[in-house]
Structures are given as C-alpha cells and as structure tokens.
A and B are shown apart, each in its own frame.
Chain A
Amino acid sequence: MRPARRVLLIAVILALILAAAIALRRPPLAVESARVDRGPLLVSVDAEGKTRVRERYVVSAPVSGLLQRIALVEGDRVARGAQVAQIDPLAHTSAVAEAAAQLREWQAQRSGVATLRVKPESQEQARLRVESAIVAAARARAQSAGARAAFDQARRDAARYQRLAAEGAVARRELEQAQLRERTAAEEQAAALLQTRIADSELAIARAASAELRTKNRDPDYLEHVYDARIAAVQAQLDNLRAEAARTAVRAPASGVVLRLLTKSAQYVSAGTPLLELGDPRQLEVVIDVLSQDAAQIAPGDAMAIDAGAAGATLTARVRVVKPSAFTKTSALGVEEQRVNVIGDFDHADAGLGDGYRVEAKIVVWQRRAALRVPVGALFRCGERWCVYAVERARARRRTVTIGRRNDEFAEVRGGLHDGERVILHPADRVGEGARVDAREPAVTPEAR
C-alpha cells in the first residue's frame, strides 16, 4: 500500500477510536443543586398544642336542685353579674320556712325553761334543815361520846369489880350491878351511836336535798344553753338556706362569652355540677407541650410562630412562661415521655381562633438574620465530620464543612464553603469525587390544577 494510503488509514482508525472513547464516556450525571447563600436561619422547637382562653370561668350549680333549661348558647356574650341559669327556688324557699318555724319552736321552749327554776324559799328551807341537822348530828355525836365514856367507865368498873369479886372484895351484887351498868352503858352507847348515825344520815339527806335543789336550779341553765345553741344552729341554717335560696339565680362571675355549655337541659343537678364555661375568647393564650429536653432551650420572651392549619397566615406569639415541672405523657407512638407546658401569648389580640383549637407551634430558640446557610439535603457524614459535594467547573468535589445550628431545611455554615458556591443535593452514592455533573436547580412544576 502506498504510504499516503497508510497514513489515511491510520488517521481513520484513530478517529474511530477517539469517537468510541467519547461515546463511551459516561454522560455527566444529572444532579440537583442549590447555592450556599446568606439568609435567615431559624432553629425552633416544633410542637403541637392548643389555644386556651386565658381566664376561664367554670360556672357551677351553687346549690342542688332542679336546673331549668339554660337558654344561653355557646357564643353568647354575658355581662358580669347577669343571671345565666336558674335553679328552681321552690325547694329552697320551703326549706327556709321550715327552718324559720323550727327556730320559733326552739325559742319558745327556751322561754319555758324559766318556769323550771327552783323557788328561793325552798332553798332557804333546805339550808335551815341542813343547819339543824348539823346541830343534831353534833349533839348526837356528843352524846355518843358521853355514852362511850360512860361505857368505858362502866366497863372498867365492871372489870374492876370483876377483879375484886374474884378476890372477893366486893359483893356479887355490886359486881352484878357493875356489870349491869356496863351493859346498860353499852346499850346506851349503842343507842347513842345509832342516834349519831341517824343524825348523820339526816344531815346527809338534808344536804342531798339541798344539793338536789341546787342542781335543779342548774338544769334550766344548762337547758337554756342547749336551747340557745339549738336556736343559734337553726338561725345559721336559716341564714344559709336564705342565702342558698338567693343563689338559685346563677350569675356570671365575670363578663365574657359562653365557651361551652356543659349542662344544657333541665335536670336535677347537685351542688357543684359544672354548668357552663365562660371566658373571653379574644384573650387567648397557647399551651404547647414540649419534651423536657427541648424545654431547657426555651426561655420566656422567645418568639413563636403559630399555625392553626387553616389557609390563614401564621400568627406570632411570645413565650410567657415555661412551666417548672414536667408531667408524664404517653406519646402518639406509645412511648412515655416527660413533657413540659409552655404558655405563650399572642402578639395581636384578635387571633381569629377559638378556644381549644389545635395549633402547630414553632418556638424560635435561635435565629440569625443573615446566616451563611447550606441546605441540609447536601450534607452527609464522612467519618465524624460533615461533608458536601461542591460543584467546581462541572465536577463534583468533596469538601469537609463545619456547621453550627441547623433546622430541618438549612444548616449554618461555619467553615468549608463560601457564599454563592453550588452544592449537590442528595448526592447519595451516585456521585464520586471528580465526577462530571450536570447541576441544575430543582425544577418544580406548578401545582396541577
């Protein structure tokens, strides 16, 4: 073959090989990308909660009785002191009358007590009797004493005569007389003793009678006290019943709107049955329960973004208080958690929400207005650190980055990336170092109509 032809052939083969090489090259991988930019970054604690009327009044039945059907409906406005419900007063007024009657009875009885008192003459008589009895007893005692002495003497005499008789010093008749005198003395002593006894018992009786009279005098006092007490009691009861009767007209403790009717229909209610809830729905607060570990980051004054789920705009609020103690709650997924309530106030009074509405809240715990931020979809772990793939001249280059706070969309870049650089989103394991990439912004078609 001629040299020229040979050169041509070689050239053709080289061209084919080049074409093959180009054709075989993997096309650049189509990836989604985004720019690192400066912008607001918000780290928030997201939780669910509900709205709550700040001051809520539960109006309960003050008394038991037949509640009349409450005419109010939820949403009605009532002024402070206005009657909101009526409990049938009949039972109460009759109770009042009954109590009043009872009072009068007791009062009458009390006055009757005075007639039971003891007369002063009787008392004096009794006293005299006691005195005379004392004298008689004393006399008897003296006599007894004398009798005893005589007896003792007679006995001594008898004994002496005995001795003498034995000795034969005296005549038997003297002995017998002595003995007779002893015996007589003994009987006299016995009689005197008896007399003493009688006098004593007479004294006791007199005393007892006097005491009895005194006691009898005291009973009416006691009775009067008793009746006084009873009267007082019935009086109190009467006052009570009167008050209750007055309360059968149930009144609103404050102005507000009826939030909930707890008992509507006419029925017997016992005292304390909640009837309705009142409150001012424009004075709302939000109660959000957060995990205790999240609560540690929240402080009063933190901003809150409240979303009620409707198509309406997000409302703003501020944290008023973070409750100091946590409570246990079983989560939606069945796990027990420690949760803390966070109360917040809306910034604007009329939030357009009602009481007890479910809301989603974002409690801002950290924010920066112009943080250097990277989408979290670009981040992945490389060992202990975070990495991204940056797009440099249509190639993917791995970079280690340091990040600060992050939320579920962005992370704050502390190092490793500059403003305006492009990073690959969700690289997964498709992208390798140095791979050729075709980076685009995520394209989202407008919502299908």
Chain B
Amino acid sequence: MSTLDHKLLHDIGASRGQIAAIALVVACGISVFVAMLAAYRSLELSQRAYYRANRFADVFAHLTRAPRALEARIAALPGVATAQVRVISDVSLDVPGREEPATGRLVSVPERARPRLDDLSVRAGRYLQPSDRSQVLVSEAFANANHLHVGSLIGAVINGRLQHLRVVGIALSPEFVYEIHGATDIWPDSERFGVIWMGERALSAAFDMQGAFNDLEVALAPGADEQAVVERIDALLARYGGLGAYGRADQPSHRFLSSELAQLRVSATIVPAIFLGIAIFLLHLLLSRTVGTQRTQIAMLKAFGYGNGAIGLHYVWYGLVIVASGALLGLGAGLWLGWILTRYYGVFFHFPILRFQAGIGLLALTLLLVALAGVAGSLAGVRSAMLLPPAEAMRPQPPARYRPALVERMGLHALLPSPIRMILRNVERAPLKSLLSCAGLALGVATLVVGRSSFDAIDLMLAHQFYVIEREDATIAFDHTVSLRASHELAALPGVIRVEPFRAVPIRVRKGHRSRRIALLALDARATLYRIVDLRGRVLQPPRQGILLNERLAQALGVRPGERIALDVLESARATRSVRVAATVDELIGTTAYMERGAAARLLREGPAISGAYVGVDARERTALEAALKRMPSVANVAFRDRTIANFRSTIAQSLAVSTALLILFATVIAFGVVYNSARIALAEHGRELAVLRILGFTRGEVTLVLLGEQALLTATAIPAGIVAGRAIALSFSAAYSSELYRIPTAVSTTTEAFATLVIAAAAFVCGMLFQRQLAALDLVGALKIGE
C-alpha cells in the first residue's frame, strides 16, 4: 500500500465519529431506496407471473341476465381472444362462530374443468368435482380470518333460503388480489367479506339462472384495442341490462394494486433523495474541513512531488470510502427491510407466491447512486486540495475576517453576552454553511412532520368519517330494494332506537362525453345518523330538487351548479334521466352523489323503497339484535360502526408503530449526522480559541456553551423552519395523492409538531452531551504551542 493510502486510513481513523455519522445517513437513504424498490419489483414480478399463470382477464362486464348462447358471439367479436361467462351474486353468510352476518360473493366456476379465465390457485383441499352440489371453495383470507378449513360448513342465504355449503378447498384468484367488497371500499375486511366459488350448475339453479349468465370476462387478443372491445361488448350487452364493460384499470383489485405500486415508486425516489442530499452536504463539510486542516500536509506533499491528480484522487477515495461503507450497511438493511415490507404487503394483497427478489440491476443502480453521491460530496474539497498553492500552506493563517452580526447592527448588542455574540458572528461568517446545516436539520424535522402527518391525515379522515359524518351504531343493507315499511320492521327489532332508511343506487353521471360511475345515496331530509359534511365542517341537507355532487367530480365533468347532467341508472331497471346539479360539496370521499329520498324516488319513478337503513342501537340489546338480523333473509350486510373503527385502527396501528419507529430512526440519524459533523468541524475550526478561553479562566461549561451554542441556535432555527417546510410538503403530498375519489386532508397536529421538535431537539441534545465529553479532553497546552 502506498503512503497516501496509509494516510487515508489514518485520516479515516481520526475522524471516525463524523464518518460514522455520514455513513449512517447514507445507509438510511440507501436502505429506503433498496427496500422500496425491491418490494416494488417483488410485487410487480409476482403480479405479472400470477396474472399470466392464472389467465387474468382484460375486460370485465356485469349485466342483468343474458342467455349462455351469447358467449360464443362474444368470443367471436374482433379483438377478443377468450370469453368466459359466469353467474355472480352477493349473499349474506352465516359463518359459524360469528354473530353478525358476513357477505360472500358467490362466483360460479365450471365443475368439469378449470375456468378459462381468472383461474383459481387451490391452496388447500381440492377443486370442484362434477358431482358437487353444495360444495364450494372459499377465498384464503376469508377462511383464515374466520377459522374455516376444508370440511367446514358455511350457511348462505340464497334466494331467501338458508343453504349450507361445505368447503372442499381454499383458493386464491387474480381477480381478488385485493379482496374488497365494492369499488367504493378502501380496506379489505377479511372477516366480513369473502369470495366463494361454487359449481355453475348448482349456482345457476339456486338463483334461477339456468342457461343464463350475469357476468362476463374477456381476454384480449394481442394488439387489440381495449376501448373498441369495450364498446362492442357494451353494444351487445345493452339489451341484457349490461352496466358497462371496463378494463383492468377499473377492476377494483387491480386498481388498488397498481396505485400502491405507483406510490412505492414515487416514495422510492423522494425519500432516498433527501437522505442522499443531506449526506452529500455533510460529506462536503467534512472533506472541506479535512482539506483545510491538512493544508500544511498537502503543501508538503506537493512540495515533495506528488501531482495534483494523485492528491485529488486521494481525497475522492476518502469520500468514496465513506459513502461505500454507508452503502453496504444500507444495502443490507434495505434488503432486510424490503423483505419485511414485501411480507407486509402480502397481508393485504393475496398472491399465491410472493417472492422477495432484488435483482442485480437494483444492486448496480444502488452502487452507481452511491458513487455519484460520493463524488458530488467530495467535489469541492477535492477541488480546493488540487488548487492549493504549495507555498501558502506554510504560512500561519491570519485571523479570519468577522463583522458585527446582523442582530448587533440593529443595536441590540448591549443585551447579548459575549458568547452569544461569538455564536452569532460565527454563524454569519459562513452563511452558506450555516444555512445548509440548518436546512439539513430542517429536513430532518420535515421528515418527521410529513411522516407523521400522514397518520394525522388518516386520523382526521377517520374522525371526520366516523364521528362527524357517520353517527349510526349500525348500517344495515338489504339484498334487494324493499318497501319503506321495512323501516318499521327494523324499528321493532330489539334494541333499535332510531331508524333512518336510505336508498342507494349505482349510477353513471354524464356531461357531454365525460362520465363517471358513482353511487347515489338518497337520505331523509332530517337525517342525523348519517350526514353530508364538507371538509370545513358544514353540514348540508340532501337536496329536494336536483342532485348534490362532489366538487372535484363536478370539476372533472366540467359541470357547475344549476346545469343539468344525464344520469344512467345502473340497476336492473335501467333508465336514463336528466337531473339538475343543485350544488357541489367538498368532501373527503368523492364517490357518492346525494339526493333527498323522496326526490330520488320520483327520479327513479318508483314508490318509497329503501336499500338499507342507518340505525341507533341500545348497546345492552346488541346481541339480541344481531341474532335477529341474522335470521332475516333479506338482510345482506350488517356493519357496526365501532367494529369498523376498531378494525381500521388496528390495521393502521401496526403500520403506525413501524412507521413511527422508522421515522424516528431516520430523523435521529439525520439530526445526529448534521449536529455531530457541524460540532466537530466547529471544534476543529475554533478549537484554539476555545482552548484560549479555558486558559483565560472560562469553565468547561461556558466553553461548551460557546461551541454547542452555535449548534443549538441552528437547531432552534431549523425546527420551526422544518415544521413550516414539513407542512408545505405534506400539503403538496396530499394534493398529489388526492384524486377525484379521495381527498387526503392536510393535517399536521400539534402533537406531530411537538413530536418532531422533541425528537430533533433530543437528538441534538444527546449529540451535544456526547460532545461535551470530547471537549473535556481539550488539549489546553497543545493549543498554545501549535499555531495554525
């Protein structure tokens, strides 16, 4: 090894604290990068393999009823490679061991062969046999959540009669990677919703659909135009009550998976970028300082004949070694985190095989990234080392130039003790460096704020949805539209205090060529258990004339209050009406339009009919109520609000705990990195002065104050700046993630701000304390003798 390399090793050893700090920052950034990208890749590859192996369809359509013979015609349409028809229906399930009814989606599958499209992956048990009548396969998540296994019996209310189905197999399907009930749900509720695959003949017979189908799936031929195929299918199915075909992009499960993957990609770029930016800054600081300290040595080396290139390269190596060590740590941590993240996704997205794979490409990309960061950080230092004229190094440096600080120029200097003045002037002397240090800390604060604010936002959404909008104790949904007198029936059930019925209809709203599929919710004018509340907390009444649309939806359609839109009723009795937009509302979830119930009945040209009701329940009689509801054939779904909230919370709590821990870790690493490096460098720069102060009789504490005071001032400035920046970033995130469907509110609670402040302040404080110990060993004597 050459002497320069020896020097390198020695230098590294001398600054090992600072290097460790920088390496940690790099490690954090790289670990996030690797973890997210690896998880992304794993999910994406698993998704692709799954879709291909199980022949996931491209186009889907639901309809009221059409003869099976139509299948051949559809398969013969241009652009269609394969077509498959099925019967699908949602039914109420009586699951052993569960008090309230669950909802099951019955899907027909051929008894004699596997489905042509959307094939099942059988996880336990077996596929159906031709002799099976009431034997079924059940989706894995539902089975696990309800402790069902091969041989279990489930009750299903099919066409008003309770039938018992026997589970012969547990399976997964690419249609239900994300198993949600409907397009308007957000969370999968594996306990209360599951998929059941039943033999075609048995299912058709049970629903009086022999020789008919109500659901269609199509695989496109290579190069086919999806939109064209959709239009052809719509034309064909229109007279059978077709509700409009759609492609994968609108298929609920796929849509969620895709958006999740997209978000992963975005996160995988932003977060590492922040960390690496900070790392580059710190590296720059360290290297510049090191070069500054080693001026004499460099000059000597040059005097002895080492070329500029060799010296420059030497310092580049310095930078690279630092980032490389961080990268190695980050890579290891990232792979581990990525594995955990992938498994975590596996809880929500159900793949038969979810393998964690991090390819060579990812590693190569990481190394390249790291190398770039290392070079960028070392650039300035290397440059100054290379440009240093040898002679100048030999002279002692004159005292650095200072000016009175800004604050003093404002006339306040009498108030400030000398140490404060020193600090202020130090800060002002190198404004860029101070600013960057402050910015780095502020980013740490902002990271905490943004990270935690997403949970604040969820909290706010939760509170808004479940405490302000919804105040019902339970929501009861029927399996078909029933007469209004059912609400009296509900009122007579044990424990029911108040009943507010509603009518829900899937509709499509159209203005010109733009259309959206949403739901129409018709409420009582004086509804109190479920209210329409906008984001500002204003309560709106469902309009007696016209329709109330979500603001963003209205914008997307290009329609304003007072104008008319076309409304297609997507229920069995299809119809098209024209309706006036009464007003718009700025809501959290934008998939619903509202009307007053009577007005809706007039619009639909029907008598008073309801789809369900919101009820207030006496807690003491809840068990009796649940039992009674289970026995009602027409009740398809019962959801108790407190259970929904608890589910929500417990699902979020896990990720909240993990996220918070990670956030704290990251922010601490950043804060530590910045404060430690700044303090070390300040010590290097002002060490002599500080020693002089000690000699002059200043106590250790007072000297520490001077040194760390600068860091404290930077931290104190960085915290509010970081909070402001965090708020701004949170705002832009919520704007970016908001869509027509969901508005993510920006919510930064004072707890979050306090949390961010505390973590950063604590990190800085601990760092300072560690530092103080180093100060104690300040070499007083040496400071006097060895001049700069």
Contacts and interface: CB of A to CB of B under 8 A. Distances in A.
A449 B583 contact: yes
Q: Which of A24, A25, A379, A443 has the most CB of B within 10 A?
A: A24
A333 interface: yes
Given A23-B753, A376-B497, A384-B620, A448 B583 contact: yes
B391 interface: no
A294 B482 CA distance: 22
A442 B539 contact: yes
A119 interface: no
Interface in A398-440: 406, 408-409, 425-426, 428-430
Given A1-B702, A333-B632, A309 B750 contact: no
Interface stretch (B19-27, B126-134, B269-277, B485-493): B485-493
B378 to A, nearest CB: 39
B162 to A, nearest CB: 11
B540 interface: yes
A334 B634 contact: yes
Contacts of B642: 428-429
Interface residues of B, number: 54
Give chain A's interface residue range (CB within 8 Å of chain B).
35 or more
B751 interface: yes
A442 B633 CA distance: 37
A291 B489 CA distance: 9
A444 interface: yes
A428 B497 CA distance: 16
B616 A376 contact: yes
Contacts of B375: none
B544 interface: yes
A380 interface: yes
B491 A333 contact: no
Nearest to B525: A447
Contacts of A30: 537
A334 B619 contact: no
Contact of B616 (A358, A377, A443): A377
A359 to B, nearest CB: 11
B382 interface: no
A78 B538 CA distance: 58
Contacts of A445: 538-541
A23 B754 contact: yes
Given A24-B751, A334-B632, A46 B544 contact: no
B160 interface: yes
Contact of B541 (A293, A429, A444): A444
B479 to A, nearest CB: 10
Contacts of A48: 483-485, 488
Contact of A448 (B160, B543, B616, B702): B543
Contacts of B485: 47-48, 331-332
A398 B522 CA distance: 35
B492 A294 contact: yes
B582 A449 contact: yes
Q: Which of A26, A333, A377, A384 has the most CB of B within 10 A?
A: A333
Contacts of B467: 426, 428, 430
Given A376-B498, A408-B497, A430-B467, A443 B486 contact: no
B231 to A, nearest CB: 36
B538 A331 contact: no
Contact of B635 (A294, A333, A376, A377): A333
A244 B466 CA distance: 74
A47 B198 CA distance: 41
Contact of A334 (B539, B583, B633): B633
Contacts of B546: 448
Contacts of B390: none
Contacts of A380: 619
Contact of A377 (B471, B483, B543): B471
Interface string B751-768: 101100100000000000
A381 interface: yes
B417 interface: yes
Nearest to B471: A426
A408 B499 contact: yes
B489 A331 contact: yes
A27 interface: yes
A313 interface: no
B528 interface: yes
A5 interface: yes
B609 to A, nearest CB: 10
A303 to B, nearest CB: 18
Nearest to A406: B497
Contact of A333 (B466, B486, B539): B486
Interface in A300-331: 309, 331
Interface string B10-53: 00000000000000000000000000000000000000000000
A335 interface: yes
A408 B635 CA distance: 22
A20 interface: yes
Interface in B227-275: none
B685 interface: no
Given A332-B489, A335-B489, A443-B538, A381 B620 contact: yes
Contacts of B540: 445, 448
Contacts of B751: 24, 26
Interface in A1-55: 1, 5, 20, 23-27, 30, 46-48
B603 to A, nearest CB: 16
Nearest to B500: A408
Contacts of B482: 332-333
B618 interface: yes
A25 B750 CA distance: 8
Nearest to A375: B528
B548 interface: yes
A26 B642 CA distance: 23
Q: Which of A26, A381, A406, A442 has the most CB of B within 10 A?
A: A381
Contacts of B489: 331-333, 335, 337
A408 B500 CA distance: 10
Interface in B615-634: 616, 618-620, 631-634
B463 A430 contact: yes
29 contacts: A23-B754, A24-B750, A24-B751, A27-B750, A48-B483, A48-B488, A293-B492, A331-B485, A331-B489, A333-B489, A335-B489, A335-B631, A358-B607, A376-B616, A377-B528, A408-B491, A408-B497, A408-B616, A425-B471, A428-B471, A429-B645, A430-B463, A444-B539, A445-B540, A445-B541, A448-B540, A448-B543, A448-B561, A448-B582
Given A23-B750, A291-B492, A447-B544, 13 more contacts: A1-B417, A24-B754, A48-B484, A332-B482, A360-B484, A408-B499, A425-B471, A428-B466, A430-B463, A444-B539, A444-B541, A445-B538, A447-B541
Interface of A: 1, 5, 20, 23-27, 30, 46-48, 291, 293-294, 309, 331-335, 337, 358, 360, 376-377, 379-381, 384, 406, 408-409, 425-426, 428-430, 442-449
* 4 closest A-B pairs by CB: A448-B583, A334-B633, A381-B619, A332-B486
Interface of B: 160, 417, 463, 466-467, 471, 478, 482-486, 488-492, 497-499, 525, 528, 537-541, 543-544, 546, 548, 561, 582-583, 598, 607-608, 616, 618-620, 631-635, 642, 645, 702, 750-751, 753-754, 757
